[in-house]
Chains A and B, each alone.
Chain A
Amino acid sequence: DGGITQSPKYLFRKEGQNVTLSCEQNLNHDAMYWYRQDPGQGLRLIYYSQIVNDFQKGDIAEGYSVSREKKESFPLTVTSAQKNPTAFYLCASSESPRTGGTNEQYFGPGTRLTVT
């Protein structure tokens, strides 16, 4: 069954701690994305990667870091430098936009991070 998995569904951390959110896909997609969702804000792009070992900052990258060592994995680390980390985080993947076509994004179920 192809899809995107994010774990865990709920995550709790103390302020000042780094935390890593997992995202795995078995769709053989080249591109992967991380979005943050806050109430009334829609989804905002944190980081994206169009190919292994390469990634780009999105609109709100400050306080976050990523790696893309494998095609199927794109973990997101929320660092202690992120001033307001409590949010819902969504991972997505798609075929590379370089191939042309609609390249719709497929989303994981999300991780709700609460930092106190």
Chain B
Amino acid sequence: AQTVTQSQPEMSVQEAETVTLSCTYDTSESDYYLFWYKQPPSRQMILVIRQEAYKQQNATENRFSVNFQKAAKSFSLKISDSQLGDAAMYFCAYRRRSQGNLIFGKGTKLSVKP
């Protein structure tokens, strides 16, 4: 069975600094997708970034980028120039290409200090 592990229950970053959130996963599949979702206090789940496993190039979305290490089964999220609005729970998620349902990690609570 596939599993997703986020080893940092809480993280803190100073405004305008950079922070990296860790995620590892376990799968025997070769074709899958990885996602980072953000859940602010409103509890609305927002997709931050996605990565296709067959792509070697790391995905980037403005201030958000990932470090995808397929062999190590690692998928970390880097947030640059952190803003107060980045404070939220961040969830790493995995999906097999042939299935629609996501498998989530337990999340990392990110605090941003002014």
Contacts and interface: CB of A to CB of B under 8 A. Distances in A.
Interface of A: 31, 33, 35, 40-45, 48, 50, 58, 88, 90, 92, 94, 96-97, 100, 102-105, 107, 109-110
B72 to A, nearest CB: 21
Contacts of B64: none
B5 to A, nearest CB: 10
Contacts of A43: 91, 102, 104
A42 B105 contact: yes
Interface residues of B, number: 23
Given A104-B50, A105-B102, A42 B33 contact: no
Given A102-B33, A109-B44, A110-B43, A58 B102 contact: no
B104 A58 contact: no
B41 interface: no
B16 interface: no
B102 A97 contact: no
B88 to A, nearest CB: 14
B91 A104 contact: no
A102 to B, nearest CB: 6
A31 B44 CA distance: 19
Given A40-B107, A92-B45, A105-B102, 11 more contacts: A40-B106, A42-B104, A43-B104, A45-B102, A90-B45, A97-B95, A97-B99, A102-B33, A103-B95, A109-B43, A110-B44
B101 A45 contact: yes
A41 B99 contact: no
Contacts of B91: 42-43
